[in-house]
Copies of this chain bind each other. A is one copy, B any other.
């Protein structure tokens, strides 16, 4: 259990209350699974606050994270908590009028980021999950400087959680919270394949 005590009190001209309510930019990186899982666990708390949640999955397969997606959709439609939108690159972004070519992942990823920029400017959601978003950054498909500047300048109180391996240094520098998931031991090392209910 965290003590909740800050290690230092910064000289930033903010009151404790103002500082407490600053929106968070979090990056979950590292080689271990748990990066996205922890992001969706955070979304449970955001949902319970009645916040609007937007999930943007930058993965090829539309089937990825079906358990988390189903659970968050059920929560979003439960009449309690906040609304949930879940958008997937893998089946073509839902807002795109014409589907991008399935094979042009770079263009699809850029279209996803363009929409997230529009939503951040409009303060559309309170809590964003950009799942596996580090990959199009790492591969040079999306301009890291543009992402960092957009996130730094985002208006209002919009929390953003970005997951994936190989997060660029500039993104880590801009983040308030960076968690690295480290593998100590995994069943796949012992020859066990992924299983239903555990891996997906």
CA A178 to CA B2, docked complex, whole Å? 21
Q: Mark A6-47, 1 if CB is under 8 A from B, else 0.
A: 111110100010011110100011101110111111101111
Instruction: Assess whether A176 is in contact with B187, with CB atoms less than 8 Å apart.
Output: yes
A193: contacting residue among B20, B187, B195, B200, CB under 8 A: B20
A59: contacting residue among B1, B185, B196, CB under 8 A: B1
Smallest CB separation, A53 vs chain B (Å): 11
Q: Mark A63-98, 1 if CB is under 8 A from B, else 0.
A: 010111011101100101100000000000000000
**From A46, which residue of chain B is reached at the shortest CB distance?**
B197
| A20 CB contacts on chain B under 8 angstroms | 192-195
A42: contacting residue among B16, B48, B75, B198, CB under 8 A: B198
* CB interface residues, A 131-152, toward B, < 8 Å: 132
**From A45, which residue of chain B is reached at the shortest CB distance?**
B67
CA A180 to CA B183, docked complex, whole Å? 6
Instruction: Assess whether B66 is in contact with A190, with CB atoms less than 8 Å apart.
Output: no
| A49 CB contacts on chain B under 8 angstroms | 67, 196-197
Instruction: Assess whether A48 is in contact with B67, with CB atoms less than 8 Å apart.
Output: yes
| A32 CB contacts on chain B under 8 angstroms | 179-180
A128 contacts partner chain B, Cβ-Cβ < 8 Å = no
Instruction: Assess whether B132 is in contact with A187, with CB atoms less than 8 Å apart.
Output: no
What is the interface of chain A, defined by CB distance below 8 A to chain B?
1-2, 4-10, 12, 16, 19-22, 24, 28-30, 32-34, 36-42, 44-49, 51, 59, 64, 66-68, 70-72, 74-75, 78, 80-81, 126-127, 132, 159, 172, 175-200
Q: List 21 A-B contacts (CB under 8 A).
A: A2-B33, A2-B194, A6-B189, A6-B192, A19-B191, A21-B195, A22-B192, A24-B187, A37-B37, A45-B197, A46-B67, A46-B197, A47-B71, A48-B67, A48-B68, A49-B197, A159-B198, A176-B187, A178-B185, A180-B184, A181-B181
